[in-house]
Amino acid sequence: MKTITYYILIAMGILVTNSCENKNTKSNVADNPLLQKWNTPHQTPPFDKIKNEHYLPAFDEGIRQSYEGIDKIVNNPDTPTFENTIEALERNGELLVKTEEIFFNLLSAETNDEMQEIALQVQPKLTELENDISLNEKLFKRVRFIYENHENFGLNLNTEQKMLLEKTYKSFSRNGANLEGSERDEYRKITEELGILSLKFEQNVLAETNAYTLDITDKNDLSGLPENLIEEAAATAKAKNKEGWSFTLHAPSYVPFLKYAENRNLREKMWKAYNRRGANGNDNDNHEIAKQIANLRMKIANLLGYKTYADYVLEERMAKNPENVKDLLNQLFDAAKPAAQNDVAEVINYAKSKMFNEKFMPWDWSFYSEKLKSEKYNVNDELLRPYFKLENVINGIFKLADTLYGLKFTENKEIPVFHPDVKTYDINDENGKFMAVLYLDFFPREGKNGGAWMTSYRGEKIVDGKEIRPIISVTCNFTKPTETKPSLLTFDEVETFLHEFGHALHGILARGTYESLTGTSVMRDFVELPSQFMENFCIEKKFLDLFAKHYETGELISQQLIDKIIAAKNYNEGYATLRQLSFGMLDMAYHSITAEITGNVEQIEKRSMEKTQLLPAIDTCLMSTSFTHIFSGGYAAGYYGYKWAETLDADAFSLFKKNGIFDKNTATSFRENILEKGGTEHPSVLYQRFRGQEPTIDALLIRCGFKKH
């Protein structure tokens, strides 16, 4: 989904700018590919030609054109109409949008010091432009005129047009259009600060992640680690001109190290390094930045007439208000806590049975819980990896998309890419119609943020009667191939791939006229439905039979092994749920403040997460200082959305289970009512149209094992 900085800033309502020439980055049209028409397959970005020096001139020209377009709308002597104002606004700034989509996507996927500096230079310009648009009194007057009078004038707008009109009007009113005098000035100042702080927060976390390696030279310290992880660590050390083995804080290295390393002192070092990111008192420290962001967001909410930032955000979410969010989190907390307590007690007792006599600490959790899981269910990541060769998983997921929606994927090596690891595909439907381009980017590198996300370089839209299909990208950080083995994924990585591919399908199958309403341009607590829905297939034998075969023998994964996966699926689900809820509660704590945070972030984190804390808290370690989801990732007052969407995806998949997981009619209904519609209608309307009823929490509680059928 769209989680890179560009979309983050849009979601925060602070993206925008003012033209300013940089004399050191002049670039004319002839040598700047961003300012030219692209002669590439499907007009995909010419990544092989774009250089850092091209960005600032393209931003400046895009900003200039955006201002020019706004002036034309404002100074149009004709009576405001849907076409000359609302649609004109939707289409304005094409060059700027194109430049932003490329730059900010790569800022997350293939960044460098120069790009990060460009981001800091261009962000104030973008914020200024956004403010100049949303605070333009004449422009808002035109928008409000249409909004208040379209029914009286008998405009007969269709459903999509009505939604665009409503979203446009609310965008202005929720971004300061009704402010006057000093309040307008204050709004401008705050949004400018927020734009820079959010970028800086994300850059600091990436810098902290890249800066740390655990370097091992004694082979005895590798005890317990899987062979593929050791090989990867050796390759990392070699690339860094070091002896021995280097382990990093990127997930494919960090997660298995915590699970398998028998050296407890080294597990502690890795755990603390990861959980101190942004909290080390150095140039990358995020303590004050996190506090400033929370305080500034509260000020913006107050300026706009809301009690808290959560009230402001949730007004435009399915949840509607903080009370409903807290009700959901508390319901799930009450259901999950007994199970979580049992999970922790079971793992600690198991550790004691293995002669572990130390105080049980957070860096012991993954190690002993994985050992218990292996003994209890006779299944673990290393047993499953051989069945999840990356290329086979890709083919399996493509087959699933074909089975459900008739999509055909063909690799297209003619499409330029921004890194050699990236693969590109043409997607056509069963009738041969071109649907989208898909980029797949799987492996960690220093220029890439951690985690996994879907985004787009172009959304679905219709311009002058011509349909323009999407360009979609899925970015992950999976286990890399080694000199002796291909990329063999863990079960969790397969699940992550399915998750992001669900977001991709939301973009690929989009239908609509206006890009701002298509694909993943939906309410934040609805956007995770298509992604989390896809995760359900992970434990279905009919799906696994499509691709899960041993990479050496070709033997299909057995029913016995699938049964073990299913049996282990809810292992420690109580603990995992409580952990996820703790993040949602922390998010709400920062965004429900009614007075500025004057103390330190340790205090607010301790208070908000205390009731979910089942393992000892470590004073020097924090979640807040690396919580990019809420401080730079668009999930402010929205992290609960994962659990909100889980109630929807569990309920939705129960219909597939009832009718058959590959049932064409059910899949067609899901496609037509959810995936194709994007944000053209309210998500509650779309979901009920698909499901035939309101969603309930029951299916989720049953799936998690918290409630019996």
Active-site positions?
Answer: 500
Q: Sort 583 into a burial class: Cβ within 10 Å, 0-12 / 13-18 / 19+.
A: buried
Helix (H, G, I), strand (E, B) or coil at 475: strand
Q: What is the DSSP pairing of strand 408-411 with strand 471-475? A: unpaired
- Cα separation, 266 vs 223, whole angstroms: 11
Across the chain, which distance is largest between two alpha carbons, in Å? 83
Q: Which regions of 122-261 does DSSP assign to beta strands (E)? A: 213-216, 245-248
Four-point Cα dihedral 503, 504, 505, 511, nearest 10: 100
- Cα separation, 65 vs 42, whole angstroms: 24
Q: Sort 464 into a burial class: Cβ within 10 Å, 0-12 / 13-18 / 19+.
A: exposed
Asked if 486 and 389 touch (Cβ cutoff 8 Å), the reply is yes
- Cα separation, 62 vs 65, whole angstroms: 5
Task: For 426, list phi and psi in degrees, rounded to 5.
Answer: -85, 140
Asked if 589 and 607 touch (Cβ cutoff 8 Å), the reply is yes
For residue 543 the two structure tokens come to 């799906």
3-state helix/strand/coil string of 613-682: CCCCCCCCCCCHHHCHHHHCCCCCCCCCHHHHHHHHHHHHHHHHHHHCCCCHHHHHHHHHHHHCCCCCCC
Q: Which positions ≥6 away from 221 have C-beta within 8 Å?
A: 261, 263, 266
- Cα separation, 649 vs 287, whole angstroms: 35
Eight-state DSSP code of residue 551: T
Q: Which positions ≥6 away from 157 have C-beta within 8 Å?
A: 82, 150, 165
Neighbours of 698 (CB within 10 A): 14
